[in-house]
């Protein structure tokens, strides 16, 4: 019996990873870590034990990790002293006798000069700590999430056109669901010790490609308009994003335009045993869901 703990159980990726693990391991071998366990009541109802823990509370983490064999460390939120939090998790895992940590850095292209603030260096820090920790580790590197593709494209690209800073770089976005399923495979199977996977989705698309896909899906012309960096941030702020978050999105877009996430390894497809969700499939489903919503609002 291997006891697997997933942190961030109340968030998107952690919750989805536990959900996909339920298809591959008995519920009583699974544990979720949450700052507020009540927020994970749905997972507890499925038989998953929820333990309380905060990345900033090192002693609490050691208690939460007792009896655990493998930990999936969901990366800490940017701009919240990620190094301290990640280091606490790694140290607590070691102290509690955990054998194996799985971590999800953002893909950094070899030789690339691009640095995502609060992410690239902090992920490197985790990798260094894991390598010197004595723990078994596996790296499941993430591209940008498909779920964010419309925000990168300016917010409501179907209505306003794709509006992003000029560039023709492409990114191989992947959906959170596919990434979580890949995590579940790595956590529940043998043979992934010291594995280093780059979970590109694909096919990689540029902002002009997104406009073309939206045009095909909607049957109406969706143009790509290059906007200045200032206007890009302003349009995201006008949609309700706090200015620092909009500025952070701009950095991701710079990475897309620099080709930082344009790659292909086949790792995600191999782990899933099927093709990952494509941008066209994602955008088509998202368009259909919005049409349904509009229709039901119209009908009252
Ligand atoms: N690949 C990408 O495109 C991309 C984009 C953005 C972010 N990311 C990274 O991916 C991570 C997961 O994404 P997501 O969508 O699942 O994020 P999310 O929904 O915001 O989930 C974050 C999880 O981390 C937990 N958490 C935050 N601070 C914590 C702390 N001090 N101690 C313990 N747990 C803490 C949160 O708990 P609460 O419910 O208590 O807040 C939540 O469960 C993010 O945190 C970020 O590092 C990736």
pLDDT, one tens digit per residue, over 143-178 is 999 999 999 999 999 999 999 999 999 999 999 999
Does the pLDDT value for residue 74 go beyond 90? Answer: yes
Identify the pLDDT of residue 271: 98
Residue 298 has pLDDT above 90, yes or no: no
| Cα–Cα separations (whole angstroms), residue 133 to 2, 3, 126 | 21, 20, 10
CA of 200 to the centre of ligand 1 (A): 20
Distance 147 CA to ligand 1 centre (A): 14
Q: Which of 5, 10, 11, 13 to mutate to test the pocket of ligand 1 (most atoms within 8 A of CB)?
A: 11
E strand segments, the chain: 4-6, 30-34, 49-52, 70-73, 100-103, 136-141, 162-164, 196-198, 224-226
Please enumerate in sequence order all residues whose Cβ is within 8 A of that of 204, keeping only pairs 6 or more positions apart, or say none: 170, 171, 172, 261, 262, 263, 264
Confidence of residue 295 (pLDDT cuts 50, 70, 90): confident
Q: Which 8-state DSSP code applies to residue 46?
A: T
Q: Pick 4-141's CATH classification: 3.20.20.70, 3.30.420.40, 1.10.10.10, 3.40.50.720.
A: 3.40.50.720
Question: E strand or H helix at 292, and its extent?
Answer: helix 279-299
Query: Which tokens sit at 40?
Result: 């994970």
Tokens of 59: 């002693």
- pLDDT tens column, 175-214: 999 999 999 999 999 999 999 999 999 999 999 999 999 9
Question: What average pLDDT does the chain have?
Answer: 97
Domain ranges of the chain: 4-141
């Amino acid at each position: 019996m291997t006891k697997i703990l997933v942190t961030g159980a109340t968030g998107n990726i952690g919750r989805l990873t536990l959900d996909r693990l339920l298809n591959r391991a008995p519920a009583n071998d699974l544990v979720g870590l949450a700052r507020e366990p009540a927020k994970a009541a749905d997972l507890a109802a499925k038989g998953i034990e929820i333990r309380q823990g905060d990345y900033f509370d090192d002693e609490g983490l050691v208690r939460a990790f007792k009896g655990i064999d493998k930990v999936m460390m969901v990366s800490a939120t940017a701009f919240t002293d990620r190094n301290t939090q990640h280091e606490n998790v790694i140290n607590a895992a070691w102290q509690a006798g955990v054998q194996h940590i799985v971590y999800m850095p953002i893909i950094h292209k070899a030789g690339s000069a691009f640095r995502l603030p609060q992410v690239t260096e902090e992920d490197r820090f985790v990798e260094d700590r894991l390598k010197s920790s004595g723990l078994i580790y596996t790296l499941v590197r993430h591209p940008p999430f498909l779920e964010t593709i419309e925000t990168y494209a300016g917010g409501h690209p179907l209505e306003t056109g794709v509006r992003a800073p000029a560039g023709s770089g492409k990114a191989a976005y992947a959906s959170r669901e596919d990434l979580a399923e890949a995590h579940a495979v790595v956590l529940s199977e043998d043979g992934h010790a010291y594995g280093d996977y780059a979970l590109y989705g694909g096919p990689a698309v540029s902002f002009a490609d997104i406009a073309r896909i939206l045009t095909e899906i909607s049957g109406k012309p969706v143009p790509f308009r290059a906007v200045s960096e200032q206007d890009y941030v302003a349009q995201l702020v006008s949609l309700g994003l706090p200015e620092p978050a909009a500025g952070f999105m701009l950095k991701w877009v710079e990475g897309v335009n620099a080709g930082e996430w344009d790659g292909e390894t086949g790792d995600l497809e191999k782990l899933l045993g099927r093709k990952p969700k494509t941008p066209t499939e994602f955008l088509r489903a998202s368009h259909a869901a919005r049409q349904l919503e509009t229709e039901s609002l119209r009908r009252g």
